[in-house]
Structure 1
Amino acid sequence: MRLKCMALVLMVLSLLPFTLEAQASGTVVQTNEETVVYDNRSGSLIQVGTLSAGQTFVVKKDYGANWWQIRWGDFDGFVSKRYTTIVPAKTYKNDVKWQVKVTNHITATGVTPIFDNTGNKLVQFATLSEGVKYPIYSKGGDWYGIAVNSRLGFVHSKYVVEEKNEVTTGKPTKPPVENKPTPPPVQSTPNGYIEATENAILYDFRRENKTMVIATLLKGQQLKVENAEDPTYVKVRWGKTFVYVEKSKVKFVNTPSYKNVGKDSAMKNEYFIPISGNSEIYDRSTGKLIPFAKLDTNRRYPILRKEDSWYVTTIGGREGYIHSSKIALDRGVPVLMYHHLLKKHELGRFTNVSTTMTDVQFANEMQYLKSKNYETISIYELQQFMRNEITLPAYSIVITFDDGLLSTREYAYPILKKHGFQATQFLITYRNEYSPEEQRFDYTDLQALSRQDINNMRDVFSYESHTYNLHDMIGRTGKMLLVPYREVVQDLKRSLAIIPDAKALAYPFGQYNTNTIYAAREAGFTMGFSTKLGYNNPFDDIFQIKRLSSDQQTSFAQYQKMVSPFAK
């Protein structure tokens, strides 16, 4: 066994980028999508950050067919060539010599955005992973300058902790524009503010074909304009994104009548959900509570700060207060995990098995979601949400099934279809590939869906991967963790040959490690689902998506509490 383990370690090490002969390169690459930066100094690939999609970087060295080497702080990082394209020239201007000696460091307390400040606004071009230690190149106000390869970036002090008793020796450089969390927007119109001539809805258009009402600006109230060039809508900042109001319902004014100016982009990665019909936010700058906007009770709103019993948010550069009794703290989007369904009299050997529940229990759970107006969202919308590209209704939920079992055809499919719900199946595609067409259901056995079954249920289910044929246990360890790395990649690619549109992988038995994640990325997956309990929020790791499950022992009250978007 020790010889086998040693052989496996040597095989993994042979795949790491430091084993290849390096050649110097001034190549410029552009990232096609968000691309992970790895540290290989421990002998394993450890994620230390990401490069944002569409950004350019001058690589330090070319490592053959699979890897680029870049300078990541005071060590070398590696990015996969798979997610990059060579381009003629870099698109940024903030060059820096990373060789300058530095001694001070910061440590990221969470996923930390890195910004370019050379334009009229801050542009995120990379992130630091939680817990990563990084040298400081310069400091100005609330911002730290750091050298990402040969590009100067800025991180805000709220995301990091600085090590004490050290002196920064890096070359001084300018702080971000105006030394603020975000520079003031460039006005595209001489009229910098709007005033509602009637109650005016603020819309978010980022969800495809699903316009979302974010708030209502009350008649006579004002907000700061971000852009007014569109013939129909005025653009207003909201957090790190924008909302839109119809021009026909506002007028332009040159100066604001309010004093409670707020910085939308300084919002924390924390959110609240209004739980009261009285969901107005108030201006308190005069000592009185003056409502200026009404929030939607099925939305999550970013938190700027808390003051005593009040939470503060911002819309359009204006701070709004809402009392803590009117809100609940958002805990993220729940992802439900199911496997096998049977009628009560069919349970037999599946009685009290955690991966099996009755059709009646499942029906009651789905009926509850319907009664509370939950929206079942796709895993791709979840991905967008976790990348902070869209917001989602507070009452959003993802429904998943592992293993691709025939019982989902018999019991889950008609219930989901009845309620107009969508769900995702994670298929062990080897089993589905060889399942007979038009098979009869046998409740005493675990049967896999056939290709015919899969195609017949596409109006409810989307299909993702649970591997091709790695869903087995060897002792207490999943087979996926024991076979050679290259075999894992080949298995996953074979799975994609059967479900070519798949972009997500559910790890068998919830077991995975760093190399598993990298194999999934190399095979072409962009999401990974675990069995870790919890909820999912913006900037969480999309290759470690958390899930929740109920079983035969779960009470209905426990289920209601579990799926709630906030703790009750």
Structure 2
Amino acid sequence: MIEGKDNINFFEVNIVKRILLLLLFMMLLPFAEKAFASNTVIQVNKEVNVYDNRSGSLVQVGTLSAGQTFEVTKDYGPNWWQIRWGGYYGYVEKKSTKVVSAKTYKNTVPAVTKITDYIVPTKVAPIYDNTDIKLVQFATLSKGIPFPIYNKMGNWYGIAVDGRLGYVHSNNVVEEKGKHTTNTTKPVEKPTTTLPSKKNGYIEALENVTLTDFRREKAMAIATLLKGQQLEVVDSMDPTYVKVRWGKSYVYAEKSKVKFVNTPAYKNVGKDSTMKNQYFIPTSPNSELYDNSAKTLKPFAKLDTNRRYPILKKEGAWYVTVLGGRVGYIHSSKVAMDRGVPVLMYHHFLKERELGRFKNVSTTMTDVQFAKEMQYLKSKNYETITDDELLRFMRNEITLPAYSIVLTFDDGLLSTREYAYPVLKKNGFKATQFLITYRNESAKDGQIFNHNDLQAISRKDMTNMQDVFAYESHTYNLHTLVQNKGKMLLIPYHEVVKDLQRSKTMIPKAKSFAYPFGQYNANTIKAVKESGFVMAYSTKHGYNNPYDDIYQIKRLASNQKTTFAQFQKMVLPYAK
């Protein structure tokens, strides 16, 4: 009896334990569900918009980049995820994401608890992750939408994006202190279940309509959609523009100049994103893009002769591209292959009578020759672009006009003040000087130019010429040859890094570097990266294209032996 009683008590105790555990589980279930939701991680399948719905309608506040992962703060029903965004919440369509087991990034950061200062994008602003050896874009901020600042590092603003630390460059935003307050308005409980992102899917031009790219500070007209012609729409939520895919980016058409249609009248459908990293430039004013799905060619768009267009393929004598999901043909006789953006390299300038020992020296040019070259660029409407724009172009974040050029000047010599600066200013050009900062630190203000010597510009000279020149690094004091080998290649790695970092004390905003004498190796590139430079210029001959190595930027040199005809051919954006 004692044995049986013990068995009954054991059974009863276990029943009680199970009931208590069940009750405890039910009590904790809401907290468990909340914890699960907050730890849910999604991966974005393609670039997806982030919306704020506190106004009662959806307002785009940014985008998330394809392939990137983010934590979810709340599951918002069958259509939406809620994520932390700009001090409150943003909403992302589920159909463009998938749930994954873990986030792929490392730079987590707590939410901003006290918000006082904001950045306001002056254009669509890329947000970068900087935990690897290169910056990786993982999201964007929409133009004009305030976002709280987490910290600031040099030219970069740190922001907390859904618990992830991201960096936005100061060129893309303005800082506003205390002008905004966190909007605590509660979100609408049920965001719109479907977005009007494709109003009937296609647009038809009511008149000739310009297709515009807004990724640069100044808008670029890319092509003209001809009256009565149609393209596929990507997004139509903006009150002024409809969004059309172009290559791996987008162009925009004014809503007032188009109408929406249900189905396309054309048959030649293509995927813009499948195009190659090869481009053509129209060379004829008759640069129509043709539909060839019928038996006769019919133009549906007109291209710009100062633009580069991605190539899908070549069919016989025709180049094929895609615009707004529509395949187009242009005859090879009206285009030329783009060879990329040229970067010109200059050093020292003298008048013909001043040359003396610099006669026929490859790094010296006469003032007359330089002025003639710059006047030619001006007459052909070349646009001098900055380091930042070249970097974004090579990362395929923007396109640039076909007639774009970068002007660089090595060594920071005083002759640039005498002979280059006035010419550049007259023509409205921008340029970059790479400084050997030890020499510039030592240079005295107000020095008189001596054509028999190599003098460095001073701090005052730099200030006086900053309306034309940006100043970057050419080392602090490693611009020396030892038996025809650059000192940078001969000293220990840590000394190279120390020198490069020291070069920034005079030019703290420096982000690009030029290798002394064009000499470098894998270790040199590593040191340049470790020192905080995001791009570097070589002396290798050639042109620069999207996805080229940004730490081996190619350049072209003009010197006393370069004829004017050779110069004209050298800067041409395409090969004849």
TM norm structure 2: 0.68
**Unaligned stretches of 5+ residues in structure 2:** 1-40, 44-64, 71-104, 112-135, 139-194
Q: Which residue of 1 aligns with 2:504?
A: 496
Indicate yes or no: 2:468 matched with 1:460: yes
1:477 equivalent to 2:499? Answer no
Aligned pair count reads 402
Q: Which residue of 2 aligns with 1:248?
A: 256
Question: For residue 252 of structure 1, what is the amino acid of its counterpart?
Answer: F
Residue 394 (structure 1) shift:
0.2
Do 1:238 and 1:264's aligned partners in 2 also have CA atoms closer than 8 Å?
yes
Specify the code of the residue in structure 1 equivalent to 2:204. E
Matching residue of 1:335: 343
Alignment match, 2:436: 428
| Aligned counterpart for 2:530 among listed residues 522, 526, 533 | 522
Give the alignment partner of residue 404 of structure 1, picking from 404, 412, 419. 412
Partner of 1:560: 568
- Per-residue deviation, 1:487: 0.6
Cα deviation for residue 518 of structure 1 reads 1.1
Q: Does 1:211 align with 2:233?
A: no
Report the equivalent of 1:374: 382
Q: Could you report, residue by residue, the CA deviation over 1:207-266 in whole angstroms, capped at 9, with x for unpaired residues?
A: 02x100000000000000000010000000000000000000000000000001111000
Q: What is the aligned counterpart of 2:300 among 292, 302, 305?
A: 292
Q: Which residue of 2 aligns with 1:188?
A: 197
Question: Matches of residues 62-101 of structure 1 in structure 2 within 5 Å?
Answer: 85-86=107-108
1:352 to 357, 360, 375: 360
- Tell me how far 1:190 sits from its aligned partner: 4.0
CA contact (8 A) 2:196 2:237 kept: no
1:543 paired with 2:527, answer no
For residues 297 and 534 of structure 1, the distance between their equivalents in structure 2, rounded to whole angstroms, comes to 22
Contact 1:269 1:538 (C-alpha < 8 Å) held by counterparts? yes
Asked whether the 8 Å contact 1:264–1:317 carries over to 2, the reply is: yes
Return 5+ residue gaps in structure 1 as ranges. Answer: 1-27, 31-51, 58-82, 90-122, 126-185
Q: Which residue in the other structure is 1:272 paired with?
A: 280
Q: Which secondary structure state, in structure 2, belongs to the residue aligned with residue 498 of structure 1?
A: coil
Helix, strand or coil: the match of 1:536?
coil
Deviations 1:258-291 (A, max 9, x none): 0011110000000000000100000000021100
User: Is the partner of 2:524 in helix, strand or coil?
Assistant: helix
- Cα pair 2:274 2:312 within 8 Å, conserved: yes
For 1:251 and 1:53, locate their aligned partners in 2 and report how far apart those are by CA, in whole Å: 30
SS in 2 for 1:206: coil
Alpha-carbon distance in 1 for matches of 2:66, 2:267: 38
Q: TM-score, normalised by structure 1?
A: 0.69
Residues 406-441 of structure 1 deviation map (CA, whole Å, 9 limit, x = unaligned): 000000000000000000000000000000110000
The change in CA–CA distance for 1:254 and 1:54 in structure 2 (over 3 A counts) is closer
Note if 1:234 corresponds to 2:256.
no
| Cα-to-partner distance string for 1:40-99 (whole Å, 9 max, x where unaligned) | xxxxxxxxxxxx999569xxxxxxxxxxxxxxxxxxxxxxxxx9624689xxxxxxxxxx
Q: What corresponds to 2:520 in structure 1?
A: 512
The amino acid that maps onto 2:418 is E
**Secondary structure, counterpart of 1:85 in structure 2:** coil
CA contact (8 A) 2:223 2:303 kept: yes
Instruction: State the distance in 2 between where 1:308 and 1:344 align.
Output: 52
Deviation, structure 1 residue 325: 0.3
How far the C-alpha of 1:379 sits from its partner, in A, is 1.1
Are the counterparts in 2 of residues 339 and 355 from structure 1 also a CA contact under 8 Å? yes
Q: Offset of 1:516 from its aligned partner? A: 0.8
Out of 406, 431, 447, the position equivalent to 2:455 is 447
| Aligned AA (2:536) | G
Distance in 1, matches of 2:68 and 2:452, equals: 54
Matched, 1:197 2:206: yes
In 2, distance between residues paired with 1:495 and 1:53?
Answer: 37
Sequence identity of aligned pairs in percent? 74
Assess, with a 3 A threshold, how the Cα gap between structure 1 residues 354 and 56 changes in structure 2: closer, same or farther.
farther
Aligned-partner Cα distance in 2 for 1:53–1:485: 37
CA distance in structure 1 between the aligned counterparts of 2:555 and 2:199, rounded to whole angstroms: 49
- Cα contact 1:240–1:264 (8 A) shared by 2: yes
Question: Once the 2 structures are TM-superposed, how far is the Cα of residue 341 of structure 1 from its aligned partner?
Answer: 0.3
- Structure 2 partner of 1:149: none
Taking the aligned partners of 2:481 and 2:553, their CA distance within structure 1 comes to 22
C-alpha distance in structure 1 between counterparts of 2:456 and 2:530, whole Å: 27
Q: Is this contact kept in 1: 2:318–2:332, CA < 8 A? A: yes
> Deviation string for 1:16-49 (max 9, x for gaps)?
xxxxxxxxxxxx9x9xxxxxxxxxxxxxxxxxxx
Letter in 1 for 2:107: T
Q: Is the 8 A contact 1:357 1:551 kept in 2?
A: yes
1:474 to partner: Cα distance:
0.8
Whole-angstrom distance in 2 between the partners of 1:534 and 1:330: 12
Distance 1:415 1:84, change over 3 A: farther
Q: Determine if contact 1:187/1:225 at 8 Å carries over to the other structure.
A: no
Matched position secondary structure for 2:418: helix
Specify the code of the residue in structure 2 equivalent to 1:196. A
Closer, same or farther: CA 53–477 of 1 in aligned 2, 3 Å: farther
Query: 2: distance between equivalents of 1:320 and 1:560?
Result: 31
Q: Distance in 2 between matches of 1:189 and 1:423?
A: 43
Q: Is the contact between residue 401 and residue 424 of structure 1 (CA under 8 Å) also seen in structure 2?
A: yes
Counterpart AA for 2:440: N
Aligned alpha-carbon RMSD (Å): 2.3
Helix, strand or coil: the match of 1:331?
Answer: coil
Cα distance in structure 2, aligned partners of 1:536 and 1:407: 28
What is the 5 A alignment of 1:15-164? 55=68, 85-86=107-108
Shift of 1:476: 1.5
Higher radius of gyration, 1 or 2: 2
Closer, same or farther in 2 for the Cα pair 1:124/1:463, shift >3 Å? Answer: closer
Secondary structure of 2:560's counterpart equals: coil
